Each structure stands twice: as structure tokens, then as C-alpha cells.
Amino acid sequence: MILLDTNILIEILKGNQETIKKVQSFDEKLVISSISAMELYYGAIDKAESKKLDKFISLFEISHIDTSISSRSITLIRTYAKSHGLDIPDTLIAATAMVQGCKLFTYNIKDFRFIEGLVLL
């Protein structure tokens, strides 16, 4: 499985053909974190955009936060928040990928590259 980071979803929504082609080239199942869904809705300008997001988000399976993801996220915060500036949404996205056994497709490699055991695309 491949977990798509929020920045990838934003590029798809903007119509970035390079990103769309890359995502379409994956043979693995595509999933998104509930955190990414929240970030997209939070950034919506109005109800019309939020309605558009309903359709877009429904194209993906959403991986929701559970006890395992929460526990892994706490470990990541303890390990990397102060030394690398890792923030809470990114810890939850990274923990989701790690617990679910997913690779993380992101354009923000610098935000995640130091996390041991996380596979980035």
C-alpha cells in the first residue's frame, strides 16, 4: 500500500499532471490518512470547495487513527519533535504509514527522511 501525503493530494487537486501520472503509475493500493482528509477540509475556502472535497476524498480508502497509530505517533514525537521539528500532523501521518505497512509518497521528504523505519517515495 502507498499512503499519499497531504501535499500530494493538493497537487492532484490543482491538476498537476506530473503528480497525477506518478500516482496513476503505482500498482499498489492507495490510501490516505484521516489527518490528510482533515487538513484538506480545514483548508477549504467555502462549502462548495468542501463539497468538491467530499467527492475527491471518497476516491480513497481512509486510514483512521487507532491505538497503535497513536502510540507510534507518541514515540515519534518523543524521538523527533525537539531534534528535528517534527510536528503532530506529520507524526500521525508517518505513524499511519508505519503501522499500516505503507510507503509514504510525499514531496516533503525533508519533513520525514530522518524517521527510522519509514519508507519514502
Q: Is 10 among the domain residues?
A: yes
Q: Is 56 among the domain residues?
A: yes
Q: Is 102 among the domain residues?
A: yes
Q: pLDDT tens across 86-97, in order? A: 999 999 999 999
Q: Is 118 among the domain residues?
A: no
Please give the share of the chain, as a percent, with pLDDT higher than 70: 100
Angle between helices 6-13 and 17-25 (to 10 degrees): 120
**Total domains in the fold of the chain:** 1
The domain containing residue 93 runs over which residues?
Answer: 2-112
Q: pLDDT tens across 36-66, in order? A: 999 999 999 899 999 999 999 999 999 999 9
Q: The pTM is what?
A: 0.91
Phi, psi of 62 (to 5 degrees): -100, 130
